[in-house]
Structure 1
Amino acid sequence: MAKTIKRDNRGIAVAAIIVACWFGLLVYLLRIPVDFASPLPYLFLLLQTHLYTGLFITAHDAMHGVAAPGRPKLNRLIGTVTAFLFAYNWYPRLLPKHHQHHRHVATEEDPDYHHGSFFPWYYSFLKNYITWWQIVLMAITYNVLQLFFPLENVVMFWMVPAILATFQLFYFGTYLPHRGEHTPENKHKSGTQAKNHLWAFVSCYFFGYHYEHHDKPYLPWWQLYKAKS
């Protein structure tokens, strides 16, 4: 008999909050005058970067079926929308790659893994996930947005945060936990951050607790801290 997955609306609410905050802040930031001498625009840039990262983390939760547990169609819709909002990523393309990462972590069959130093690994990571049609859609969006909003706003609050979020996801969610050699006892071939829930959230929505994620992939990001001993 198939196991019944209990429905839980909390993940739906969390996803909705992230999307609403990302969209609402973006609309606001595209319209405000930018004073480069003030620290405020740079703080807004970092906040929007964090929300961009939240979009992908939400799509990632959907890949594990925990964005909307027990509702596969809604779960897939949440994953598709949040991945698409993050630089036009295509959820059906990301889904098999991510599960391949979990099955073959830190091996030649792992699409996220690269045996090398930081920048070659980062390049490999981008090349593996960014497609030409994404670049075309981003270029079209950029040119459309600058027709309606100041160029510096478009660059600072739409373009730059997307790039920084990609770096954030790679550095804290791939490079740090999977670099170097892991002992045979480390069955997930993954490292983990020291226990600090505030920093773990700020750095990458608790995904610095990466061994814990591989060990309990059924936990959504907002419950992952509970697995940290």
Structure 2
Amino acid sequence: MTHSDIHGDAPGETASFGYDDIPAADKVARVGAIFSNVARRYDVMNDAMSGGMHRLWKDRFVARVRPQQGEAILDMAGGTGDIAFRMAKRGAHVTVSDINQDMLNVGIERAEKRAISGLDWSCQNAETLDFADRRFDAYTIAFGIRNVTHIDRALAEAHRVLKFGGRFFCLEFSTTQWPGFAQVYDAYSHHVVPQIGKVIADDADSYRYLVESIRRFPPMPAFAAMIREAGFVRVKVEPILGGLVAIHSGWKV
């Protein structure tokens, strides 16, 4: 029996897809189509959504993870390699996993061009990982968990595959608490980002979904509570730009 046999979507169960609620069983395919569409333009998309700041956020994120020489790290939803490349340069052995093979293919090509070694590539569903219990020293996921259908299941799987003493780190868009800035960013993301997507990728709908998925993601305290419920301790939240982006972390003991 695989992990995917254990959990099924209950009849009538729904999941968020942007601002819409759709049958939970349909979300994986719908999200998969979005990322297949944007795979080749993913860095451009992140630049558009963050004004280029995602590169600084990722540097900060990896600095918090503190990958060590020889550590085994699972980078989930890491298809294009942005986080994995940074960790591999520090000597960690990184398994890059993503539910979308098109995203992984982009990462594999980028790794070959940059001659980055020490990486494994594995197509995986975050909710039903094929890896053995207690395999990894750290689990990272950047800008990916909000696209998971059942976030609680993904967190439970993260806890399962970590060794005792292992650490969990998540970088994700959240909701900024800064007065004024929230309204400015909201207007920018809803009205400008889809138009940028239309111009650079002829795909306004995919970019619109990605913006809407941020709005439906749990606020920082609620997501921190979910991490604790999955079994992690010493859970911390580090807001960036007032919570526009946040780094969540926890430990398995």
> What TM-score comes out, normalization by structure 2 length?
0.24
Which is strand-richer, 1 or 2?
A: 2
Structure with max Cα Rg = 1
> What TM-score comes out, normalization by structure 1 length?
0.26
